[in-house]
Amino acid sequence: MNQELEIKHDKANQRFNLFVSDVEAGEIIYEFRDSKMAITHTKIKDGYEGKGLAKLLVEFAVNYARENKLKIIPICPYVKKIMERTEKFQDMLWVSEIK
- pLDDT by residue for the chain (99 residues), tens only, comes to 568 999 999 999 999 999 999 999 999 999 999 889 999 999 999 999 999 999 999 999 999 999 999 999 999 999 999 999 999 999 999 976 544
Say if CB 70 and CB 35 are below 8 A apart: yes
Residue 54 lies in a domain: yes
Query: How many separate domains does the chain show?
Result: 1
Q: What are phi and psi of 43, to 5 degrees?
A: -140, 130
- The whole domain housing 56 covers 5-92
Residue 18 lies in a domain: yes
Residue 99 lies in a domain: no
- Which residues pair with residue 71 across a beta bridge? 36
Residue 97 lies in a domain: no
Residue 76 lies in a domain: yes
Query: What CATH number did the domain enclosing 80 receive?
Result: 3.40.630.30
pTM (global) more than 0.85: yes
Residue 98 lies in a domain: no
